[in-house]
Amino acid sequence: MDPNHRLDRRTVLLGTGAVASGLSIAGCLGANGEADPDLYATPAADEFEAVVDSMWLEEHLSDVELLDIRDNTSFTEGHIAGAHRLPETAMLEQHYEETTDGYEATPDAIADVVADAGITPADDVVVYGAGSNLWETYAIYTLRAIGHDGTVSLLDGGFSVWTAADGETETGTPEPTTASYDPELEMDVIATRDRVAAAVDEDGANVQLVDNRSPAEYRGDHGNDDVSRRGHITGAVNIEFTQNLIDNGDRLRSPADLETLWLDDAGLDPAEEAISYCSTGVRGSVGWFIMEQLEWETVRNYEGSWQDWGTLSEADGYYYTSGPDTGTVVDTFA
């Protein structure tokens, strides 16, 4: 997708979030003339549909809504000019709830949080954090899961790269603003417990399952004491989420490296359905996001992940595997 066409579906909300209380604005991208050009553009943004870089954002800053997923103190001390904050705790705690049928998405709760940031379903949104790590992709997945109509993109490098390039920032807290947001679950990106169970038997899985946790968690050497089982969903391959990132999580790997990891070394097929998971769906959102950028036809994120699957029983058809020599660990960039 041509980055210049990312805004075709945007509805501009004149005045929304334009007035802020106690804000101090500073910076202009590259104004000091010393910023490294590599901070402006990234290989992932050049090729991936839902990834932008500082150069693109500087040119389109007034045309998108910005969601900052960092903690409140970091946001108040400095954020990209015009941004609103989307609390990570709201995404994790309010996006879904545990029921007798597993974890179920609760779109109304998260839609209220998004609306409080002045976002409407038609807005084009850029999500950023400290880098290009977990909560950034989980925020993108969350918006997609509640049926967001506008584009939702990741700022590769996040706030740290934006400030390193002397991008425009402000301090303080914007004036509160509320939009109207009517959510509708998008099941094309959500994997429920029932969907996973229907694809798995004691011999393997008929969909591509990707476990984004550490190899130790995947094998069952380490796990959450809140669940009764340790290991991985039978048939899953392990690609730890950190392998998709460089610079301690600040940026995505290059498209060429990601193709090597996912297509060549893992041997996964974008033409076949894939389901990503981890412990709670947050790390799984990284794999989900990468597969989407690699043009998977169908890729979903398992809402409950191991926090759900690990509490179930094989007697009821919820198969799992553990042990040092079980499964497949892809460690290209480990």
Q: Is residue 181 in a domain? A: no
Q: Is residue 179 in a domain? A: no
Q: Is residue 182 in a domain? A: no
Nearest Cα neighbor of 168 from 28, 55, 23 is: 28
Burial of 298 (0-12, 13-18, 19+ CB in 10 A): middle
The alpha carbons of the chain give a radius of gyration, in whole angstroms, of 20
- pLDDT for 291 equals 98
Helices and strands, counts by H and E, the chain: 12, 22
Q: How is residue 144 written in tokens?
A: 């997609």
Q: 27 versus 257: which is more confidently predicted? A: 257
Residue whose structure tokens are 């996040």: 158
Query: Mean pLDDT, to the nearest integer, of 244-261?
Result: 95
State yes or no: pLDDT of 3 exceeds 70.
no
- Same domain? 315 vs 212: yes
The DSSP code sequence of 200-252 is: EETTEESSEEEE-S-HHHHHTSS--TTSS--SEETT-EE--GGGGEEGGGTEE
Q: How is residue 154 written in tokens?
A: 């990741």
Whether the CB-CB separation of 333 and 245 falls below 8 Å is answered with no
pLDDT in tens, 165-212: 889 999 999 888 889 999 998 999 999 999 999 999 999 999 999 999
Q: 287 versus 31: which is more confidently predicted? A: 287
State yes or no: pLDDT of 148 exceeds 50.
yes
- pLDDT for 26 equals 53
- Same domain? 200 vs 325: yes
- Same domain? 235 vs 123: no
- pLDDT for 41 equals 83
- Same domain? 125 vs 38: yes
- Same domain? 65 vs 203: no
Q: 58 versus 12: which is more confidently predicted? A: 58
CATH number at residue 197: 3.40.250.10
- Same domain? 47 vs 143: yes
State yes or no: pLDDT of 16 exceeds 60.
no
Range in 98-107, 208-217, 229-238 with the lowest mean pLDDT? 98-107
- Same domain? 259 vs 154: no
Number of domains present in the structure of the chain: 2
Q: How is residue 126 written in tokens?
A: 């850029």
User: Could you tell me the CA-to-CA distances from 199 to 154, 205, 206, 316, 319 in Å, in that order?
Assistant: 31, 5, 5, 14, 10
Query: Last residue of some domain: 174, 206, 228?
Result: 174
**Structural domain boundaries enclosing 81:** 3-174
The per-residue pLDDT of the chain, averaged, comes to: 86
The DSSP code for 316 is G
State yes or no: pLDDT of 250 exceeds 60.
yes
State yes or no: pLDDT of 19 exceeds 60.
no
Q: How is residue 167 written in tokens?
A: 């991008």
Query: Mean pLDDT, to the nearest integer, of 146-166?
Result: 93
Q: Is residue 265 in a domain? A: yes
Rounded distance between C-alpha atoms, residue 190 and residue 173, angstroms: 33
pLDDT band at 32 (very low <50, low <70, confident <90, very high): very low
Q: How many of the other CB atoms lie within 10 Å of CB of 242?
A: 17
State yes or no: pLDDT of 132 exceeds 60.
yes
Residues 6+ apart with CB under 8 A from 74: 130, 159
Nearest Cα neighbor of 108 from 156, 29, 180 is: 180
- pLDDT for 28 equals 57
Query: Mean pLDDT, to the nearest integer, of 133-159?
Result: 94
Q: Is residue 205 in a domain? A: yes
pLDDT in tens, 118-129: 899 999 999 999
- pLDDT for 219 equals 97
This prediction has a pTM of 0.88
Q: Is residue 13 in a domain? A: yes
- Same domain? 28 vs 142: yes
- Same domain? 11 vs 40: yes
